[in-house]
Structure 1
């Protein structure tokens, strides 16, 4: 069995771990337990490596896989049950607070020819500022011939806790104008780029303009087909019935200080989520796992 190699490295202000196992290399930042990159030897990267990403203390990273928790997106767009969990008069940042929190690396466990890494978020005795709940959070990564991501929330408090969340994955593509997403045909979605109107998907999803959509009741498997790179990225989700698809296109990209003006061309976010009516309510003692498995398959 190959010996896994875990190395501490620094990306600007952030401490990270570089993990090499078999043909895979994975980079994870301590801030946010944020997957910065993932690539298999001899293949195109699966995770978009944004050359303009900022690795600054307290700032969300625009690349890889941000963990959005315990709310997703703009706070006020969340259901009342999620908003009621927060107890603060201060403005709430988008996508929750754990993506800028410092996680710890727990066990690193070889399993047959695979490798599992557990990242843990310590919860202060009184909960987090403005969010006083006792919910343990663990991000488990399993490296075999795929990348498996599992985000587990465990309520060890005495009250039910309701949350929304997402694995906000930035996928690398040859050119977003030449790819398509399969598996969303006949599904309804909320078009947040068009006044949050409800629409219906017909056929594979292609990209010709800014896209920001919340798909509802989505299946467990989606495919991102990239003919130029001759591959299909197969996405298999767990504990999720909602999917967010996002690309900023030209004008939005120009307004972002951590993306090149043409950076939108090489990325597509497909976010495995629990949002809108798909929120998670955890009774005392209950756990929920939001999962995503990523596999590259040659066309």
Structure 2
């Protein structure tokens, strides 16, 4: 007998699945294969879902784990090799994958874990303006931790260069009391100050708008949340860069899908391949960008 449940739900214009096991629950949208929420039974959510989220076709939801692929952010801020892959006119922010419908291939138990597999058929040469043949899959594993792995395999005859990110929104009690550990001493790009390169001193604490690209990141970063007495741990592979973002007060007021005080309850740490950490896939090669998300009391 299966120890999990899969239910179809409609949220605004988006088809979604609520997938629950004895230990945790996920809400995943077909658009973008985007995890919208995740929490373990009896605990506060680990991933943040905006109170004012907009569930509209063609728009990424302000929540969970949007998939940014085959480029991250503004295409013009990417290396020339990533820009050259796109042949369209208007390049949407964060690529093409997060607003396309993915195909749910499987939900199955493997031991104590639940494995959920998606693919994006359009990545096989049919994405508008991006005519490359890549097999793109997203595997989500629901167990004691949440694991998300985005795998790209180049099925074409020419190299393909991509930047990408698992744009994770984490739930915190109050970002002004939280801190990020694991970034001590790292160099980062300060995008809010003309993209200057700087060096981090100590753990990262928050006192204003934050939008930084951390370079040569370790495999483990963590969010310490004293008020909720927990540590959220991110363990990544296939990544040497991370983006840390919080819009703070003024920027949040400009976002239609975030409450004016919503910035207090969220923090983005995006497991990424950006800046000098982009991925070049030779024909036949594959690359997996993965993050495992867990939490423990502190």
Compute the TM-score of the two structures, normalised by the length of structure 1.
0.98
Structure 1: distance between partners of 2:52 and 2:24: 24
Q: Find the aligned partners of 2:2 and 2:231 in 1 and give their Cα distance.
A: 28
Separation in 1, partners of 2:14, 2:113: 27
Aligned-partner Cα distance in 2 for 1:15–1:176 = 31
**Deviation readout 1:55-76 (Å, 9 max, x if unpaired):** 0011111111100000000110
Contact 1:106/1:118, CA 8 A, preserved across alignment = yes
Aligned-residue offset at 1:125: 5.9
Asked if the contact 1:243–1:270 (Cα under 8 Å) also holds between the matched residues in 2, the reply is yes
Which structure 2 residues correspond to residues 196-215 of structure 1 after superposition, within 5 A?
196-215=195-214
The residue matched to 2:212 in structure 1 has which SS?
strand
**What does residue 48 of structure 1 align with?**
48
Runs of at least 5 residues in structure 1 that lack an aligned partner in the other structure = none
Q: How far apart are the structure 1 equivalents of 2:79 and 2:64?
A: 27
Q: Over residues 116-165 of structure 1, what are the superposed CA-to-partner deviations in whole Å (9 max), with x where a residue is unaligned?
A: 01011103664311000001110001111000000000100000000000
Distance 1:225 1:43 in 2: 16
Report the 3-state secondary structure (helix = DSSP H, G, I; strand = E; otherwise coil) of the residue aligned with 2:276: helix
Deviation string, structure 1 residues 259-298 (Cα, Å, up to 9, x no partner): 1111100000000000010000000001000000000111
Equivalent in the alignment of 1:36: 36
Residue 59 (structure 1) aligns with: 59
| Aligned-partner SS, 1:64 | coil
Q: Once structures 1 and 2 are overlaid, which stretch shifts more, 15-24 or 119-128?
A: 119-128
- Whether 1:16 and 2:13 are equivalent positions in the alignment is no
1:227-264 deviation per Cα after TM superposition (whole angstroms, max 9, x unaligned):
10000001000100000000000110011111111110
- 8 Å Cα contact 1:2/1:21 also seen in 2: no
Residue correspondence of structure 1 range 188-203 to structure 2 within 5 A: 188-203=187-202
Q: 1:233 & 1:125 partners in 2: Cα distance? A: 35
Distance in 1 (CA, whole Å) between partners of 2:66 and 2:125 is 25
Query: Corresponding residue for 1:254?
Result: 253
SS in 2 for 1:123: helix
CA RMSD, 1 decimal: 1.0
State how 1:1-299 maps to structure 2 within 5 Å. Answer: 3-88=3-88, 90-123=89-122, 126-299=125-298
Report the CA distance between 1:108 and its aligned residue.
1.4
Stretches of structure 2 lacking an aligned partner (at least 5 in a row): none
